[in-house]
Structure 1
Amino acid sequence: MKSYAEIRHFRDEYIQTVSTNHDKLNTFHDQLMKQSVQVAMEKVQSERGEPPAPFAFFLMGSAGRFEQSIWSDQDHGIVFVGDGDCQSYFLHLGEEIVSGLVQVGYELCEGNVMASNPVWCRSVDEWKLQLETWLEEDRWDSLRHFSTFFDSRVLVGESSLLSELKVESFNVLKEQPRLFHRLAENVGFIKKGIGLFGQLLPEQHGEHSGSIHLKQTVFFPFVNSLRLVALRERILEPSTLSRFKQLPDKYHQIKSYENDFQNLLDFRLRLRKDAQDYHEVHHIAKKALSKEERQELKLMMKKGYKLFSETKIMMENECSTWL
């Protein structure tokens, strides 16, 4: 059995060899995280025995979307078969996974969206109830939790358990199409990255003053747009690129932005492959950009804003015919 320290050593030794290729880098992250989860499972089994029920450990956030950069934080959960009596075992497993991933190099999630949190570690039936509650509560934080959950995929365990939860969510949305309006509003705030005169707008305060927040100003419009359409079209795949590819032909206008998102992924890797930590991955100093890179970044921002605007209008028009 490998140790967390050995996995971390492997990461540090080889990650730069895949740092310029999006698919290879994310496949490498999957390998690191899967090995870490296996170590955690073996440790918990030695302490508490075999898992008391079938389960799935799933990734969310950038890991769930297969969109990690060279550094990443933790966003994950567990779903298991059976009743709540099994939860203590899987929470203990979640705690061990969190600890192991920290040692391997994945920062804790600031929002505590991790399998060590009872909110993100539930039975199938409890998860169904939670997802339905999040949607029907129709609150900002509830809908944000739901959106976070939907960008998920199974790393270890029974993939069918997660698919079952997503299908249940599709059914709730079909019965209450007004929720599409609210989901669009929930992700509608986009941090402004371009000023009135076409200049880039860096952070004004804090430790990242003078830098551009790539995640908030450039990535979110693409990610949020494709999530909304995936929910509408019952697309199970979590990655933004996969969602682009699975869109029906009627979304040809939205599909036209696929290359722009691929260019954005490549742009981030090119400029952030030498980042020293997770937070540095998402920030780039404005003064460090060449004139050509600034123009490239502004173009990607404009494309993202336009995509989200077109997606929201399309969703509103479609939703009005369902109500």
Structure 2
Amino acid sequence: MKNPIAERITDFLKNYPPFSSLTYQSLLEIAKACHVLYLEKNQTLFKINDTTHAFFYVVASGAIGLSVTSDADDILIDKCDEGDILGLRPFFAKNNYLMTAKAREESIVYAIPIENFKPFVAANSEVLNFLLESFASNTRNPYDKHHKGKLVSENVIYNDQSSEIQYYQPIKYTSNPITASPTDIVKFVAQTMASSKIGSMIIHENNKPIGIVTDKDLRSKIATGLFSIDVTIDKIMSSPVITVADNLSIAEAQIMMLKHNVSHLCVTLDGTNDSEITGIITEHDIVVAQANNPGVLLKQSKRAQKSADLKEIREKLTDLIQHSLDKNVPISHITSIIGEINLAITKRAIELAIDKMDAPPPAQFAWMNMGSQGRKEQLLLTDQDNAIVFEDVPEEKYDAVKQYFLELAEKVTRTLNKVGYEFCPAQMMANNPLWCKSVTDWQQQFKGWINAPGEKGILMCTIFFDYDFVYGNEDLVDAISHTIHEETHDNQLFFAYLGADALKNPPPLGFFRQFLVESDGEHKDTFDLKGRALMPLIDAARILSLSKGIKNVANTISRYSKLAELEPQNAPVYEACADAFAELLKFRTEEGLKNESDGRYLNLSELSKLDKVKLKNDFQPINDIQEVIKNRFQLTYFT
């Protein structure tokens, strides 16, 4: 008598090792003893310290996450998909499970009795070798060339102290992925995904990504009858797709997925959705194995309940920065990761402050970080620079609405102060009525700075023209950006003033190549790393980016990268400036961590001869970029 369920299980198992090494009849016998388990999302299959089961498991559909616990958090180690094996521990060890297995979505799992399977293991060396290699090499499939020996499995004891995670190693991803057009029929796309054994497909127009469809979309939208299998794929795709550049590190990829709540990232030539597709990154490409990694800190920031929680996270950041520097991680990677976590801390501080207000916000608003925070270059704990923009409201409501946001800003800035970000001595914070305005008032403010750029206006340009959206309605910030680019376009007077300001600090070497140090005051005989070296490079990147109409890029290294792309003839100068800035920022960060300061002033007597040579070499690009500014805007050092 036929057993259709057992036959269906057999037909599935024969496609995956080690079952593919067995005869159909042997598989059918195993399948008859199988239990079929249906797991709801977040339902647990087994937990850490549970007594081992009499079964091992094969994922038939869905996804099972394997996690460990550290500091009361569940840390995802791996995700098992269709055909993956888990729960092998009872074969080789008698102690309890060392991981938790939990469904990440609705899943079907085949539970295979170990006692029923053991005879086939003993009789088939290929099956035995597979299980031994899988258990010993920390993979769910030792024959998988992409994952062999790379994954942490349930036989590994989790240890915060001994674990060494390569946060910033470049992530490996699938290049030249299979794609589909928006007019392709769902049925044929699904057939392609099945035959190619892939769980997702990017939808493109002219090889530029416009969306993505995953096997989850097929289950939730097609299998449920929500859409016909004969509709075009654009009806069920998710859009827009999150795009990244090809030099992404593991930590950056993980943060992007957490930030946008997605499980796939599309790699494009320049990291935007307006360039050609080059690859796809999935959750399987990311391994998380340590509680203080950037992704987990980001997660902790999102669920912090008080300022003390946020302060603890910020203190962990200091350890992460030091650890990264010790491992010679590129400073550009460090600033990217720390910038995102700083942003998450600020965002959570705003959410907590809103909860403490007597009423919800009376109008749409946006919180902006300014200065070094706006450029995502704040590695050390320095002062706050922030602002609020709220939507235009009727004149009779303006004062009340502004007062609400001033009170909100007071709570936020106090929380950030408790976390460790000092109040700005110049009061350039959102709780100052000058920096809490409607979008129209902000537009008029920027027009004033741009079209009547006196000394004060230029000072404001160096702070308020480097901004980053943090929380609220981003359209309000975009409206300000649009005004800035409209008003600065071909504005010779503005660029003459801004250019002259960018030249006020020439390369910091004397005639005989000696360092120009502070001649008096508290920091006498020290070198002002920020004022004399970093700021000239920051100022130059700002004016040149504004003059080229570059939008939504505030980070200094990113600005130089974009300029090099737009002006190949000057690319060597821009690339040298980016490298010099990175080196100087590293000097400042190391100095700040060593002395628990902002790292601005260097004691040259404590530097090695090699470090002094490095510093002097970093000053040459300052001279070169200032020559570019002088020639472009027809300036001299004495303008």
TM-score (norm 2): 0.47
Q: Among 304, 308, 312, which residue is 2:622 paired with?
A: 304
SS in 1 for 2:471: strand
Q: CA deviation at 1:33?
A: 4.9
CA change 1:259–1:156 in 2 (3 A) is same
Q: Among 608, 633, 636, which residue is 1:290 paired with?
A: 608
Task: Write the distance in 2 (CA, Å) between the matches of 1:43 and 1:151.
Answer: 25
1:28-177 to structure 2, matched below 5 A, reads 28=338, 30-83=340-393, 84-85=398-399, 86-174=401-489, 176-177=491-492
Mind listing any 5+ residue stretches in structure 2 that lack a counterpart?
A: 1-303
Q: Is this contact kept in 1: 2:384–2:421, CA < 8 A? A: yes
Q: Among 304, 307, 323, which residue is 1:4 paired with?
A: 307
Amino acid at match of 1:273: L
Q: Is this contact kept in 1: 2:338–2:379, CA < 8 A? A: no
Q: Is this contact kept in 2: 1:167–1:234, CA < 8 A? A: no
Q: CA deviation at 1:36?
A: 4.3
Task: Write the distance in 2 (CA, Å) between the matches of 1:275 and 1:157.
Answer: 37
Q: Among 532, 543, 558, which residue is 1:242 paired with?
A: 558
Deviates more, 1:237-246 or 1:41-50: 41-50
SS in 2 for 1:209: coil
CA change 1:177–1:253 in 2 (3 A) is farther
Q: CA deviation at 1:94?
A: 1.4
Task: Write the distance in 1 (CA, Å) between the matches of 2:514 and 2:540.
Answer: 25
SS in 2 for 1:87: helix
Amino acid at match of 1:52: P
Mind listing any 5+ residue stretches in structure 1 that lack a counterpart?
A: 318-323
Deviates more, 1:245-254 or 1:231-240: 245-254
Q: Among 547, 569, 582, which residue is 1:262 paired with?
A: 582
Aligned to 1:320: none
Q: Which has the higher helix share?
A: 1
Q: CA deviation at 1:203?
A: 1.5
Aligned to 1:205: 520
Q: Is this contact kept in 1: 2:449–2:458, CA < 8 A? A: yes
Is 1:315 the counterpart of 2:633? The answer is yes
Q: CA deviation at 1:12?
A: 2.2
Deviates more, 1:1-10 or 1:212-221: 1-10
Amino acid at match of 1:238: A
Size of the aligned set, in residue pairs, is 315
CA RMSD of aligned residues (A): 2.2
Deviates more, 1:102-111 or 1:257-266: 257-266
Q: Is this contact kept in 1: 2:310–2:419, CA < 8 A? A: yes
Is 1:252 the counterpart of 2:567? The answer is no
SS in 2 for 1:222: helix
Deviates more, 1:254-263 or 1:112-121: 254-263
Q: Is this contact kept in 2: 1:134–1:142, CA < 8 A? A: yes
CA change 1:277–1:264 in 2 (3 A) is closer
Deviates more, 1:246-255 or 1:109-118: 246-255
Task: Write the distance in 2 (CA, Å) between the matches of 1:226 and 1:179.
Answer: 16
SS in 1 for 2:489: helix
Q: Is this contact kept in 1: 2:507–2:619, CA < 8 A? A: no
Q: Among 517, 523, 540, which residue is 1:225 paired with?
A: 540
Task: Write the distance in 2 (CA, Å) between the matches of 1:239 and 1:129.
Answer: 25
Q: CA deviation at 1:177?
A: 2.6
Task: Write the distance in 1 (CA, Å) between the matches of 2:597 and 2:584.
Answer: 20
CA change 1:113–1:191 in 2 (3 A) is farther
Q: CA deviation at 1:253?
A: 4.7
Task: Write the distance in 1 (CA, Å) between the matches of 2:352 and 2:320.
Answer: 29
Task: Write the distance in 2 (CA, Å) between the matches of 1:293 and 1:287.
Answer: 11
Task: Write the distance in 2 (CA, Å) between the matches of 1:305 and 1:90.
Answer: 44
Q: CA deviation at 1:295?
A: 1.4
Deviates more, 1:100-109 or 1:8-17: 8-17
Amino acid at match of 2:349: V
Identity %, equivalent residues:
25
Aligned to 1:27: 337
CA change 1:274–1:159 in 2 (3 A) is farther
Task: Write the distance in 1 (CA, Å) between the matches of 2:355 and 2:309.
Answer: 20
SS in 2 for 1:59: strand
SS in 1 for 2:389: strand
Task: Write the distance in 1 (CA, Å) between the matches of 2:534 and 2:359.
Answer: 42
Aligned to 1:321: none
Task: Write the distance in 1 (CA, Å) between the matches of 2:385 and 2:334.
Answer: 20
Q: CA deviation at 1:288?
A: 0.9
CA change 1:170–1:251 in 2 (3 A) is farther
Aligned to 2:321: 18
Q: CA deviation at 1:16?
A: 1.6
Q: Among 493, 502, 508, which residue is 1:187 paired with?
A: 502
Q: Is this contact kept in 2: 1:217–1:301, CA < 8 A? A: no
Amino acid at match of 1:243: R
Amino acid at match of 1:16: D
Write the deviation string for residues 214-268 of structure 1: whole angstroms up to 9, x where unpaired: 1111101111111011111111211111111222125435423222222323333
Task: Write the distance in 2 (CA, Å) between the matches of 1:38 and 1:48.
Answer: 18
Q: Which has the higher strand share?
A: 2
Q: Is this contact kept in 2: 1:57–1:157, CA < 8 A? A: yes
CA change 1:252–1:282 in 2 (3 A) is same
